Structure 1
Amino acid sequence: MANTTWMANHTGWSDFILMGLFRQSKHPALLCVVIFVVFLMALSGNAVLILLIHCDAHLHTPMYFFISQLSLMDVVYISVTVPKMLLDQVMGVNQISAPECGMQMFLYLTLAGSECFLLAAMAYDRYVAICHPLRYPVLMTRRVCLFLASGCWFLGSVDGFMLTPITMTFPFCRSPEIHHFFCEVPAIMVLSCSDTSLYETLMYLCCVLMLLIPVMIISSSYLLILLTIHRMNSAEGRKKAFATCSSHLTVVILFYGAAIYTYMLPTVSVFYTILTPMLTPPPICLLRNEGMVGLFRKISVRFFKLFQYLLSLSFWSLFLPFVSMVSVFS
């Protein structure tokens, strides 16, 4: 009956049904708890990293500005899909309206595209820092950094603005069940009853260009960086240059490796959508940067001292009634 109603009303807005991950699991409650813990870790890790960069004036540099933007993208990225999936599991409702589905699709496409271009901007920043260190303060001013970050957000939104309206205007006359845990373009196109082969070709061409341009920028930047490092006479200089680039390279490998693996095997897209924001960039930036580790320790000590102070206040507050009684009777 539901499918008949869906086919009759395929020209208007209707609700989709997200099949999710939990129906395929033998232990849905355990999987829900694990995903919730990973979500909290990703959210708190990126939030702490943004806070650390914001608090320390020594970290107000182009490199850390781009890292904070990457963390911000990861926070929004994981918040687009995971809360809805967990809430549906808890409430026992797995429906999503067409406007909500379109918004989720737009944000997902925008953030994925923006992150691709931001990684390219970070590679350019490392290229200027290593290959043109004397001109670095001139080439990477605050205005340039804001322009690059804004450009990354804009180019990512272009992908969302192009693909989302076209995808959501196709007629859907098959089952409303989306065999995914969020509204992704390929999962939605399966439900269409019209010929989408030309659109799918254009869509994949667009995605390839969105990936190819940043990859070319990243590859070119690191090729020039390697040539510059090879010409260095100082072993200490080479070590410092490699240490500067190692964090960004690790993030790039995780991001693109997970993306390629996801689209080769769509069933593991949960890794790309949920685990990648947890793995990058907080652990890498904290573990591979002594300044970040030192600042993290300093802020942790301050929070611990504040906690001790509040605990002592609450402890002494237990004795206030007795002190007041003694003063009254005396």
Structure 2
Amino acid sequence: MTEQELLDPTRSPRREGVLRAAEKVAALLPPTPLLPLELDGRTIWCKAEVLQPVGAFKIRGAWHRLSDLDEAQRACGVVGVSSGNHAQGVAWSARRLGIAATIIMPSNAPRAKLEATRALGAQVVLYDRAREDRDAIAAQMTAQTGATLVHAYGDPWIIEGQGTLAIEAAAQLRARIGREPDRFVTCCGGGGLTAGVALACPDAEIHIAEPEGWDDVLRSLAAGEILPVADMTYPTDCDALQTPRTFPINFAVLRERVSGGAAVTRADVAAAMRLAFEKLHLVVEPGGAAALAAVLAGKVDATDATIVTLSGGNVDRETFLRLLAD
């Protein structure tokens, strides 16, 4: 890839871009652990992205995107759209690089995510998730200010950055068992992580987990076209996976690579959160536990070289205790 291609916002994400992002992330952050977990006599491998500085994998894509901005773009700032994990990744990266960041967040985002984003120095603009279009708000804001949009998943840099999780996890698995991962199970909202993982490990099967009522990617794959969430008011604890629809840039990868997946229930997610807490001693948020929930509930099969993403751990105390008690 030429430098001009690398900096073109209309480009498609590529594995070369994931590898370049992996070098950047490795120079900035230590690897998160790849933890073994025995389920029904089989060991799966859990990538603990809950231990990132912002508590989620989103720091990977945010750093790849913001660190590639030129001086003029940095001077104009960035605008992000997020329920909270991408928000913190953008805010963390922006503060480190001296860039002003504005994040458009739903008014019902978890308090912990709102407070953490503001604490990192970002300006937060709230919107009504059920009645307002965050992408329209972001487009208007960037047009008025000249800021760069850093989308939560519909961006080539973001997709490539999230794919660094798989590069890192594959190397860890080789070191542990001498094998390449043959299956990834990813938590899926807009598809940025899933598309990045698919590009990073082209020989592995990709399976996704979405919350029930918000399984638009699974429905889109079945239909062969992008379908929006049917009911934006459908209740779920998985706020991190409440995206209205995937984008063509993600869907182009997903439709070629996703082998299967499942929608998980509230009970599935609660069971996965309890297991992660009891066996791995990790606090995992509902959306971050969706992939483990799909495997634990028997909705997605695992092999001895399956990597499951524990993609985020930013959860309000009340929500965590409520779900653990269920």
With the length of structure 1 as denominator, give the TM-score of the two structures: 0.26
| Bigger RCO (CA 8 Å, 6+ sep) | 1
Structure with larger Rg: 1
With the length of structure 2 as denominator, give the TM-score of the two structures: 0.27
Please state which structure has a larger fraction of its residues in strand: 2
